[in-house]
């Protein structure tokens, strides 16, 4: 095991020396690889449309907007809640997080009006994500308000309490694997077709030479890519590497494909590897019991995060070893715990130690 101060390196290809051969190969690849369409791996949703709901009661108008009604698993969703009210009307936005059931909050912004604004505008914008495919329903949104304006004909000024409700909104989260080959959906075999013979012996010889040349070019490209991959090193801070690995794990949609145990193994190994790179603690090679003992005695780990790591291990072990089937809320909780630990312990920019971008190794427990 390397010391924590020694940079980690991976061999993922290096830039070969430039030359005429490389220029020729790149030109051939560009010509051969051009496509007119997005291909089967395109993840954009051309049919996705924005959603907007508006409701009004008395002096308050509420508008809720969702930027897309259909997204892929790794694509962010923007939820915007805007309330407009007349002066002397106090608006109370929904409590933080209660309108985002089934989705993780990546970021949010709040805007409140100044006392002299007219109309007064409250605005809250969430940036959300889901790592489970399927249809997600954002719950009904209720914006409460208190009307302090003088009421016509009233002897005394009495505040009026009321609320504006917006109906639930459904968003479809599609897997990145949809649209690929289905072995049960194969077209019927067509009748045999008689191929025309070459016009002459010269055509046959030229065709053979062309095929041989293409094979040689393909072999050369494969060899150059292997050489480049074998020599290049990629460096980045530990927390940046860990967040990229989390994004890759989400994009694989293991939960949507029913591979829950594999998801837990990968997430546990990823976090152990981050602890090893960030703090120099050999967490990736420890059993759960050894890791929990280290939490109590090792002062390299911040005390404020030790309870979070203890809960993380306690949540992972039943799934990994007892084949416990967690619910969606439990899966999101263990994923968010790993992400919160990574973002909460990232090194200040002036103290960052660069490490490799190699895939995380599985932990011992």
Residue 361 has pLDDT above 70, yes or no: no
> What does the alpha-carbon distance between residue 356 and residue 10 come to, in Å, rounded to a whole number?
5
- At 217-268, the pLDDT tens digits run 988 888 777 766 544 556 788 898 999 999 999 999 999 999 999 999 999 9
pLDDT band at 51; cut points 50, 70, 90: very high
Average pLDDT estimate for 48-59? 92
Q: Give, as one character, the DSSP assignment of residue 42.
A: -
- Helix count and strand count (H, E) for the chain: 7, 13
Pairing of strands 169-174, 70-72: parallel
Q: CA-to-CA distance for 356 and 349, rounded, in angstroms?
A: 17
pLDDT band at 206 (very low <50, low <70, confident <90, very high): confident
E-only strand ranges, the chain: 51-57, 60-66, 70-72, 77-85, 89-92, 104-111, 120-129, 134-138, 141-147, 160-166, 169-174, 235-236, 355-356
Residue 42: per-residue pLDDT: 42
Give pLDDT, residue 187: 60
Name the residue with higher pLDDT: 22 or 332. 332
Does the pLDDT at position 1 exceed 80? no
Q: Any idea how long the chain is? A: 365
Q: What is the pLDDT of residue 29?
A: 46
Q: What is the pTM of this model?
A: 0.42
- Provide the pairing of β-strand 141-147 with 89-92: antiparallel
Range in 49-53, 178-182, 283-287 with the lowest mean pLDDT: 178-182
């Amino acid at each position: 095991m390397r010391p924590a101060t020694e940079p980690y390196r991976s061999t993922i290809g290096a830039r070969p020396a430039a030359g005429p051969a490389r220029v020729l190969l790149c030109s051939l690849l560009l010509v051969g690889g051009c496509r007119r369409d997005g291909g089967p791996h395109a993840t954009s949703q051309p049919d996705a449309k924005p959603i907007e709901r508006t409701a009004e009661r008395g002096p308050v108008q509420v508008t809720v907007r969702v930027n897309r009604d259909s997204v892929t698993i790794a694509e962010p969703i923007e939820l915007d809640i805007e309330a407009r009210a007349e002066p002397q009307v106090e608006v109370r936005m929904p409590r933080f997080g209660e309108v985002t059931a089934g989705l993780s909050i990546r970021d949010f912004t709040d805007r409140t009006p100044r006392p002299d604004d007219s109309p007064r505008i409250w605005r809250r914008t969430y940036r959300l994500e889901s790592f489970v495919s399927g249809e997600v329903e954002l719950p009904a949104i209720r914006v409460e308000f208190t009307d302090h304006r003088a009421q016509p004909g009233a002897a005394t000024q009495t505040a009026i309490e009321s609320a504006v409700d917006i109906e639930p909104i459904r968003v479809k989260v599609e897997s990145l694997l949809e649209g690929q080959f289905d072995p049960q959906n194969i077209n019927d075999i067509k009748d045999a077709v008689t191929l025309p013979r070459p016009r002459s012996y010269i055509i046959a010889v030229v065709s053979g030479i062309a095929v041989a040349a293409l094979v040689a070019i393909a072999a050369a490209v494969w060899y150059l890519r292997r050489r480049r991959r074998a020599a290049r090193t990629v460096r980045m801070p530990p927390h940046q590497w860990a967040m990229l690995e989390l994004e890759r794990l989400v994009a694989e949609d293991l939960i949507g494909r029913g591979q829950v145990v594999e998801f837990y193994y990968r997430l546990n190994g990823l976090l152990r590897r981050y602890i090893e790179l960030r703090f120099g603690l050999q967490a990736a090679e420890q059993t759960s019991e050894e890791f929990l003992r280290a939490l109590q005695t090792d002062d390299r780990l911040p005390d404020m995060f030790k309870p979070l790591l203890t809960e993380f291990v306690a949540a992972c072990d039943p799934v990994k070893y007892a084949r416990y089937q967690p619910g969606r809320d439990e899966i999101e909780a263990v994923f968010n715990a790993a992400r919160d630990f990574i973002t909460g312990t990232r090194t200040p920019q002036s103290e960052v130690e660069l490490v490799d971008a190699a895939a995380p190794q599985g932990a011992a427990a």
